Amino acid sequence: MPKSAKSWAEEHFTVTQKKSNQDLKEKDKAWQEKAKRVAALRALRLAKEAANKKAAEKTAAKNKKPSRSPQFHGH
């Protein structure tokens, strides 16, 4: 006996809902993976910037020479 239009529609709706939910889960998973990659790259960049800043400060302190102000002889 053929299915009624209502039961066919309900079945079709259920299948569509499952597919839609599956698609949303996959998109969410992909978004979370991308967010993790971005966070890891950001952490690496910040660590590198901090290391570079520390090295620059160390180099600047090492190379700092006492400044000599010009001496004026009141002639």
Q: Give the span between the Cα atoms of 59 and 34, in whole angstroms.
A: 37
For residue 3, what are the contacts with CB-CB under 8 A and spacing of at least 6? 11
pLDDT at 22: 95
The domain ranges of the chain are 24-48
User: Looking at residue 6, what is its pLDDT?
Assistant: 87
Instruction: Kindly report, residue by residue over 21-56, the tens digit of the pLDDT.
Output: 999 999 999 999 999 999 999 999 999 999 999 999
AA identity, residue 54:
K
- In angstroms, rounded to a whole number, what is the distance separating the alpha carbons of residues 25 and 19? 10
pTM of the model: 0.56
Alpha helices, H only, 1-75: 5-63
